[in-house]
Structure 1
Amino acid sequence: MPRWGPLRGDRVFPTMADCLNFIQGMLKGLVSLHLHCIAHRDLQASNAVMDHYQSETVVPIKSWQSTRDLFGGQDSVIYNIIDFDYAFIIPPYCLYHEAEESLTTSIHYPRDTRQGELEYNPFAYDVGALGVMFCNMFQDLILHAPMMTPLLDMMVTSDVSRRLAAVEALHFFQHGLLPSPSDEQLAMAPPPLSPYRVVTVEDDRWAGLPSDFVAKWKEHCTPSSS
């Protein structure tokens, strides 16, 4: 039985393949919750754990990568979602897209409740929160994996009716994004995560991408809120 531990250090994902493995693991976790009618409502990086426990008081963070290699690389790492203080189970007789009255507290939040809305869709909110977290952590990978752009845009769009459901986001990732990077790109080291990094969902994630790619996927582009 694994001992779950937090994601520690700015090199917790040594390669782009590691980043994509984490994204897929979190999407699978959210799909599982939603299929069981559970809305998490507090999705953020501190509520993601991996099946490799390590205390920084015992093993220095900088040695984590070599320790990870003893377990066969990132493909053997499993991620999970924790902290269900704000979660609730939606009765099965409720419509999936039905709005619910509630309160949320996640620091990784979409704009669904930004203006004090009393009702919102908790499942769509979860997808938006996970999308915001992915933007904060992996937006720099877009130039190397352009298919992340429509995925992120369709997860964080303020038009909730256009936002992907969790199962749709996972399907898009597995069949649209995952096959696209080359082996060389998958092996490259991503930019280190910075605690001072400032990323917003309003960032133009399409800037710098090939014009033919933008033209093909423009219908998935999130319009500017300005």
Structure 2
Amino acid sequence: MNAQPSETDIRAEPENSNLRRQWWESMQPWFAERGYILNKTTQEEEDAQMNEEPMYTFSGEVRYPYSYTGGCKVCEIGCALSHPPHPRVALAQDSESRHVVIKVLLSDSEEFKVLNFLRQEKILLDRFCGVIPVLDMLSFGAFQFAVLPRWGGRAIFSWFGTSKDVLHYVRCLLQGLVFLHERRIFHRDISEGNILANHFSCSNDCCSFTRTDMRSDLRRADRLDYALNDFDWSLLLPAEASLKDFRIPISGTYPGVYEKPNEALRGEVDFNPFAYDVGCLGIQFAYTLQHLCPSIPLLAPLIDGMVTHHVPDRFTAQEALSFLDEAQLEMTPGQLEERPNLRESITVYDKFDRWSNVPPALVEKWGRYRERSPSYFAIHVIYPLCMRPWGVSLVYRTRTIFRYALFAAKYLFTL
């Protein structure tokens, strides 16, 4: 058997990806004994990109939690469902030829703790909850292999057909975040790449944002769902942690998403991880959907309530989901069937006016959710300072000193 990847490089891209690929291939008999057949590795030419292709064709009825396949307009007939290999992940099929993903983890990692916890949540296997379930966990020395159903990336690479489709997308992801937060899981990396759909084809097919394809057919049949995935940086927090008041050191915002909510950038001492997750998902909704606020007005208060810089006013995941469900009930069938426009340009989420074309009656009704302007001091002192590394450090140290001083004063006056 080829040398195992070391415990220190399991997260990193290996210097020689071929060696890591050889390691996965050397594990084929071990996985086969446990009912999993790894996809075969193909390479058309010596210098061409390697791809993984399934060994068998699944011909049964697709049932949750597994995903639909095919419909590729590039390959047309006989799509091999090929994808480039990933160093930490192997594509495979189970004993019934259903498509799965096998991910290697360290046995003492936070990711293993989170995924092993989710594995105990049998409800994830019984019904859709907005989170990719864990099917199996296999031990191998210092490593664990998490087995998950294979879903597809580029969740919205074919655009929504109706406003109802848009709101279904939003609801799926809020449902997933509610599920995680109820179990006190801090995702920490909610980004476009970690949102999956229950359909995949080959990698060549994921190249157009407007293609009419199998995902459109699945949407029309109410069969297309979306879920949160990838717990590389997630944390399992104490069961008694308050969704509104729990805080951890600000260093916990790193690593994770590239564009972070406001509180990660202003020299704060600590932060609420659950509110942070809501902010991350709100930012994703903003960049993808905020241009639709004129035709789907509820998106304006929903997104503002998720990304507001005033964290105590920010929705919890459950509050955002409840708001969505209540507001959607007030939409007419005609409004739900309207075709949403494609995004023509991108505006930074905290600079975009989501309320400019919302009907006045709804502005008045939902005005309490509208993002408030930061204070004069924040705009003209804190924000400019925090645009510089030394400024962030200065603000952080100042906040820390004031916090200790306040704590000391409270202690002295309660003696």
Normalising by structure 2, we get a TM-score of 0.50
Decide whether the 8 Å contact of 2:197 with 2:227 is kept in 1: yes
Task: Indicate conservation of the 8 Å contact 2:161/2:216, yes or no.
Answer: no
- 8 Å Cα contact 1:6/1:48 also seen in 2: yes
Aligned counterparts, 1:12-161, within 5 A: 12-57=159-204, 61=208, 65-71=212-218, 73=220, 75-96=222-243, 97-101=245-249, 102-104=252-254, 105-161=256-312
Alignment of 1:154-173 (within 5 A): 154-173=305-324
Does the residue aligned with 1:76 lie in a helix, a strand or coil? Answer: coil
What is the identity, as a one-letter code, of the residue corresponding to 1:21? Answer: H
Greater CA deviation, 131-140 or 145-154?
145-154
Aligned with 2:200: secondary structure? coil
* C-alpha displacement of 1:12: 3.1
Task: State whether structure 2 residue 363 is matched by structure 1 residue 221.
Answer: no
Amino acid at match of 1:136: Y
Please list every run of 5 or more consecutive structure 2 residues that lacks an aligned counterpart in the other structure. 1-65, 68-149, 380-415
- Taking a change above 3 Å as real, the CA distance of residues 224 and 59 of structure 1, as seen in their structure-2 partners, is closer
Residues 1:204 and 2:390 aligned together: no
Mean CA deviation greater in 88-97 or 179-188:
179-188
d(CA) in 2 for partners of 1:43, 1:167: 16
The residue type equivalent to 1:50 in the other structure is: A
Q: Which has the higher contact order (CA 8 A, sep 6+)?
A: 1
Equivalent residues of 1:98, 1:121 under 8 A apart:
yes
Q: For 1:66 and 1:122, how far apart are their aligned partners in 2? A: 38
Q: Distance in 1 between matches of 2:369 and 2:184?
A: 27
User: What CA deviation, in whole Å up to 9, does each residue of 1:76-112 have, x standing for no partner?
Assistant: 1121111211110101133332111123331242101
Note closer, same or farther for the CA distance 1:116–1:55 as it changes in structure 2 (3 Å cut).
Answer: farther
Structure 1 residue 200: Cα displacement: 1.8
Q: State the percentage of identical aligned residues.
A: 30
- How far residue 18 of structure 1 moved from its aligned partner, in angstroms, is 1.5
Change (3 A) 1:49 1:8: closer
SS at match of 1:49: strand
Superposition deviation, residue 70 in structure 1: 4.5
How big is the shift at 1:224? 2.1
| Higher Rg | 2
CA distance in structure 2 between the aligned counterparts of 1:154 and 1:181, rounded to whole angstroms: 19
Q: Note the C-alpha offset of 1:216.
A: 2.3
Q: Aligned pair count?
A: 224
Normalized per residue, the structure richer in strand is 2
Paired residue secondary structure (1:80):
strand
Query: Hey, what's the Cα distance between the residues in 2 that align with 1:184 and 1:75?
Result: 18
Residue 146 (structure 1) shift: 1.3
1:47, 1:82 within 8 Å by CA — same for their partners in 2?
yes
CA contact (8 A) 1:153 1:221 kept: yes
Q: 1:68 to 1:224 in 2, by over 3 A?
A: same
SS at match of 1:29: helix
The TM-score with structure 1 as length reference comes to 0.88
Tell me if structure 1 keeps the 8 A contact 2:158–2:213: no
Question: Which residue does the alignment assign to 1:180?
Answer: 330
User: Which residue does the alignment assign to 1:6?
Assistant: 153
User: Deviation at 1:165?
Assistant: 0.5
**Aligned residue identity for 2:338:** M
Contact kept, 8 Å, 1:11 with 1:192, in 2: the verdict is no
2: CA distance, partners of 1:209 / 1:58: 36
| Residue matched to 2:81 | none
| Structural RMSD (CA) | 2.3
Contact 1:10 1:193 in 2 (8 A): no
Task: For residues 108-141 of structure 1, give each alpha carbon's deviation from its aligned partner in whole angstroms, at most 9, with x where no partner exists.
Answer: 4210111232311000000011111111111111
Mapped contact 2:158–2:215 kept (Cα < 8 A): no
How many Å apart are 1:223 and its aligned residue? 1.0
